[in-house]
Chain A
Amino acid sequence: DGGITQSPKYLFRKEGQNVTLSCEQNLNHDAMYWYRQDPGQGLRLIYYSQIVNDFQKGDIAEGYSVSREKKESFPLTVTSAQKNPTAFYLCASSKSRTSGGYEQYFGPGTRLTVT
């Protein structure tokens, strides 16, 4: 079955600790994305990557970092510099736009709680 997996489903951390959220896809998609969702808000783009070893900041990149060493994987690190890290984090992937990719396919999400 092709799809996107995110782990873990729920994550708890103490303030001041960095935490890495996992995202893996086996759809052979070139592009991958990280969003966060807060109550009453839409999905806001944190980082995206159109190709391996390259990524760009989204609208709310401060306090986050990513890497894209493999096509299948796009981990997100929430650093201690992120002021409000508690949120629902969603990973997505798509074909490249030049390949006709518009639809993004989402993983099940990770609920991060920082206390």
Chain B
Amino acid sequence: DQQVKQNSPSLSVQEGRISILNCDYTNSMFDYFLWYKKYPAEGPTFLISISSIKDKNEDGRFTVFLNKSAKHLSLHIVPSQPGDSAVYFCAASGAGTASKLTFGTGTRLQVTL
């Protein structure tokens, strides 16, 4: 049962335009959400996160939006740059003492010139 879903396996965006990556979740006990960026054969690197008490968090070119009623979050990257080309994973953490994360299957973003 996939509790965190990224339904778009890939996305292609022109340099300078906005990239929007989407993520849906089913578990209403998730209270913290994160986005990671991953290059091939490397470990994921943390990008940005959001608590369930917020609906938006911004960090430079990256903004994460959370819609709790729809159980949906999105990552906006603007402007997109060629170096943003990577696989992006959405992850969620549930209430409790363990910092376990449940990951989506990832979206491969390609930023073209």
Q: Tell yes or no: B83 within 8 A of A by CB.
A: no
Q: Label chain A's interface by main secondary structure.
A: strand
Contact partner of B34 among A33, A40, A42, A103, CB < 8 A? A103
Q: Tell yes or no: B25 within 8 A of A by CB.
A: no
Is A42 within 8 A of B104, CB to CB?
yes
Q: Tell yes or no: A76 within 8 A of B by CB.
A: no
- CB under 8 Å from chain A, chain B span 22-76: 32, 34, 36, 41-46, 49
Is A109 within 8 A of B42, CB to CB?
yes
Query: Once the chains are docked, how many angstroms separate the CA of A3 from the CA of B17?
Result: 34
Number of interface residues of B (CB under 8 A): 26
Contact partner of B97 among A4, A96, A107, A108, CB < 8 A? A96
Is B46 within 8 A of A103, CB to CB?
yes
Contact surface of B with A, Cβ cutoff 8 Å = 4, 6, 9, 32, 34, 36, 41-46, 49, 89, 93, 96-106
Residue pairs across A and B with Cβ atoms less than 8 A apart, 25 shown, are A31-B98, A40-B105, A42-B4, A42-B6, A42-B104, A42-B106, A43-B89, A43-B103, A44-B103, A45-B102, A50-B98, A50-B99, A88-B41, A90-B43, A92-B43, A97-B93, A98-B97, A102-B34, A102-B49, A103-B34, A103-B49, A104-B46, A104-B99, A106-B44, A106-B45
